[in-house]
Amino acid sequence: MATAAPTAAGFQDCRNIWVSTLEQLAEADPRIVAVVNDSVGSSKLNSFQKKFPDRVVNVGIAEQVMVGVGAGLANGGRIPFVSAASCFITGRALEQVKADIAYANFNVKLVGQSSGVAYGELGATHHSIEDFAWLRPLANLTVIVPADAWETAEAVKWAAAHDGPVFLRLSRMPVPDLQIPNRSFRPGKAETVRQGGDLTIIACGTTVHLAAAAAERLATEGIAARVLNFSTINPLDEEALHAASATGAIVTVEEASVRGGLGGAVAEFTAAHKPVPVERVGFPGFLPTGSVDWLFREYGLSPEGIEAAALRALGRRG
């Protein structure tokens, strides 16, 4: 298994590949439509709208009906991709996501854009760091957080082909390709970014490349950290978590609240099966205003911060 080698060059805004992939799929499958809440631009759907003007359903600034319309379009035989800022499609329409999509088990793809702290300076109303905790308990809903452009494309293709509700959590923050050779996208399975047996760093989305960089730093200290790209948050890859517990210490990293998200899930799982030290890197609650870069550094979502968390976890293991 290769080691990820993030570089400054080649960072990509994954929304570009999200929309080019969706356009390719829509060319081939006339059932695919986009549903938006006045979010054509923020969802990067302008070119999609030009190509398929009658296949964009813009309900205006109205998230509840947006999600309900998604369920209705699925009832009518369409494959809707319902796309809006993650903070609104989840928080504002959470009961619709629960009842109309997950519980009713409609073939709807929800796409949370600009998730996490992408809208850093706009403040906590626009941060979407609670979404993992809100969505993770919803049965039937597969929650996927792609880590780079390649995985974004694969996740969009898989979502279109999968018969069931999916939530794709996308970012507008550029990320590097993980450069893992011979990859295949396996929903529900963690991807090994780097082998190692001294501890396991479990990351998702925009933080995977940071976890890989942290593992590089740990390697120079003689610590072999396994790095997992845990891109499916629901359902959990329990086999990977059992194996992570066996390494004796775990660090979780997410651009989300540490309460109830990926860190919460891993802590729940290990406490129930094989308790090991778990250090959770993420956000504690409502955040001050600040740029994305500042928020990431301030809360330890950085190679240095993840390295420090790893050393704490190893220290607790004793």
Partner 1 sequence: MLTNDKIPLIKEKALWMRRAAFTMVHRAQLGHPGGDFSAMDVLATLYFGVLNYDPKRPDWADRDRFIMSKGHATGALYATLCAAGYFPEDWLPTYMQTKSLLNGHPNRNYLPGVETNTGPLGHGFPVAVGVAIAGQLSGAGYRTYVLTGDGEQQEGSNWEAAMVAGHRKLGNLTLIIDRNRLQQGAGTEETSGLDPLDDKYRAFGFEVCEVSGHDHAALLAVLAAPPGDRPRCVIANTVKGKGVSFMENVASWHHGVPNDAQYEQAMKELV
DSSP 248: S
Q: Quick count: other Cβ atoms within 10 Å of Cβ 76?
A: 9
Nearest distance, CB of residue 195 and partner 1, angstroms: 42
Of residues 73 and 225, the one with the C-beta less far from partner 1: 73
Residues that bind partner 1 (CB under 8 A): 33, 54-55, 57, 59-60, 62, 64-65, 67-78, 80, 95-96, 99-100, 103-106
Contact 194, 143 (CB under 8 A): no
Nearer to partner 1, 103 or 158 (CB): 103
Write down the least CB distance from residue 22 to partner 1, Å. 17
In whole angstroms, the minimum distance from the beta carbon of 89 to partner 1 comes to 14
CA-to-CA distance for 117 and 105, rounded, in angstroms? 29
Q: How far is the CB of 151 from partner 1 (least distance, A)?
A: 29
Strand ranges for 2-132 from DSSP E: 32-36, 56-58, 79-85, 109-113
Q: Which two tokens stand for residue 88?
A: 């609104």
Nearest distance from C-beta of residue 12 to partner 1, angstroms: 33
- Among left, alpha and beta (phi > 0; psi -120 to 50; other), residue 205 is left
Torsion of CA 114, 118, 122, 125, to 10 degrees: 60
Please name the amino acid found at residue 254.
Answer: E
Q: Which is nearer to partner 1, 56 or 236 (CB)?
A: 56
Q: What count of other Cβ atoms lies within 10 Å of the Cβ of residue 23?
A: 16
Backbone torsion region of residue 254, taken as left when φ is above 0, otherwise alpha when ψ lies between -120 and 50, otherwise beta: beta
Provide, rounded to whole angstroms, the least separation between the CB of residue 5 and partner 1: 45
Least distance (Å) from partner 1 to the CB of residue 59?
Answer: 5
Q: How far apart are CA 121 and CA 112, in angstroms?
A: 19
143 strand-pairing partners: 167, 234
Query: H-helix or E-strand containing 250?
Result: strand 250-257
Of 37 and 229, which CB lies nearer to partner 1 in the complex structure?
37
What the block records as the tokens of 247 is: 């390494």
Q: What's the one-letter identity of residue 87?
A: C
Q: Structure tokens of 55?
A: 């296949």
| C-beta of 26 vs 202, nearer to partner 1 | 26
Which residue, 62 or 219, has its beta carbon nearer to partner 1? 62
Of residues 53 and 181, the one with the C-beta less far from partner 1: 53
In whole angstroms, how close is the CB of 18 to partner 1 at the nearest point? Answer: 22
Residue closer to partner 1 by CB (options 68, 260) is: 68
